[in-house]
Amino acid sequence: MISKRILGNSGLEVSALGLGCMGLSFGYGPATDKHEAIKLIRAAFDAGITFFDTAECYGPFTNEELLGEALAPFREKVVIATKFGFEDGDSKKGLDSSPARIRAVVEASLKRLKTDYIDLFYQHRVDPNVPMEEVAGTVKDLIGEGKVKHFGLSEAGVESIRKAHSVQPVTALQSEYSLFFREPEKEIILTLEELGIGFVPFSPLGKGFLTGAIDGTTRFDPTDFRNTVPRFSEENRKANQALVDLVKTIAIDKEATPAQIALAWLLAQKPWIVPIPGTTKLHRLQENIGAIHVNLSEAELNDIAKALEHIEIVGARYSAQLQDRVGK
C-alpha cells in the first residue's frame, strides 16, 4: 500500500502520491474515453491513492463530472481537491476570484463532484483585482458553512501566501516543482516550512519530459498545450536532454525507471511534499506508484544536487501570457 503524508500543520492526511486528473479531460490532446478514465481513477484508489486533483476549468467542467462519478462509491475515503479563479470557469478568459464567483463555483463544483463538501479548495491563480484577504475570508466563511474543509493556493508568490495565511490558514500550495523546474527552492519552500503549509507539486515529471519518452523528434497532438511551451521547442528539448540522461543513469543504478527517480527525488525533499503526477495509462499509473519504494540515500541526493549544478535548463516553462499569471 501507499504510505500517507500530512499536508503541513493542517492534519489533512493524504496518500504520499496523488493523482492529477487534468490530462484525462484537458490540456494534453483529446480527452480519454470516459469509461477508461473512470477505470483508471478507480484503479488508483484500489492501489492506495486517496488524493485526487481537479478544477472547474479542466474541460471546462467535464473533469469534475468525471471525478464525481468515478469516486462516488468511496467518496468518504478520498480527498478531493478542486479550484476556482477563472471567469466563467474558462482558463482562456480572465481571472475572477470575486467573492460572488467563489461562492458560485462552490455550489456548481459540489453538484458536479456529487458531494456536499470539498476537501481542499484552491485559488487557481492569484487575482490582482481582488485583495487576497477578501479571497481568504470568503473561503473561511465556506469552511464555517461546512462546504469546504481546507484552503489552498496555486502558483502564488510569497507575499500572497502570507496574506492569505493570516486570514485563513493555508493547508497546501500547489505549484510546479520537479527536477525540470526548481524555482520553488529559492524562497517558496522555506516560506511553506516556516508557516506549516504542505506542498503539492504538479507536473512532477516535467510534463512527461523526465520519463525519457520525449526527445527532439517527438511530435505532440495539435491540441496539446506543450506546443505553446518554449521549454518544449524542438531545439530546447535537445538542449535539455542532459537532464534526462542524468535521470536515466540514476534509474539504471537503482533498477528503477526515470519517472520513478524523478518522483522519489521529490518525495525525498520534504516529508510534507505530495506530488500529483497525472497519466491516462494504467501501466504508467503503476509505474508512478512504484516510486514510493525507491529510496534515495543522502549520498545519492548529494550526488544529484552536484550534477544538477552543471546542467542548465533552457526555455521558459510557460508562454508569456501564462507566465504573467504565476508567482503573484
> Nine-digit cell at 36?
477508461
> Nine-digit cell at 305?
544536487
pLDDT tens by residue, 235-252: 999 999 999 999 999 999
**Residue of 82, 48, 16 lying closest to 267 (CA atoms):** 16
Mean pLDDT for 60-85 is: 98
In this prediction the pTM is: 0.98
Q: Is 58 a catalytic residue?
A: yes
Q: Is 223 helix (H, G, I), strand (E, B) or coil?
A: coil
- Measured in Å, how far apart are the chain's first and last C-alpha atoms? 38
User: What does the alpha-carbon distance between residue 53 and residue 23 come to, in Å, rounded to a whole number?
Assistant: 11
Torsion of CA 111, 28, 7, 51, to 10 degrees: 50
Give the pLDDT confidence score for residue 147 in this predicted structure: 98
pLDDT tens by residue, 93-147: 999 999 999 999 999 999 999 999 999 999 999 999 999 999 999 999 999 999 9
Alpha helices in the chain (DSSP H): 34-46, 62-71, 99-112, 132-144, 158-167, 188-195, 234-239, 241-254, 258-269, 282-289, 298-308, 320-323
Query: Where exactly are the structural domains of the chain?
Result: 4-206+259-294
Give the pLDDT confidence score for residue 1 in this predicted structure: 83
pLDDT tens by residue, 20-34: 999 999 999 999 999
Name the average pLDDT for the chain: 97
Mean pLDDT for 300-318 is: 96
In the DSSP assignment, the letter for residue 6 is E
The architecture of the domain spanning 4-206+259-294 is: Alpha-Beta Barrel (3.20)
User: What does the alpha-carbon distance between residue 256 and residue 235 come to, in Å, rounded to a whole number?
Assistant: 28
Residue 39: pLDDT band by 50, 70, 90 thresholds?
very high
Point out the catalytic residue in the list 28, 58, 122, 177: 58
**Residue type at position 289:** I
Residue 261: pLDDT band by 50, 70, 90 thresholds?
very high
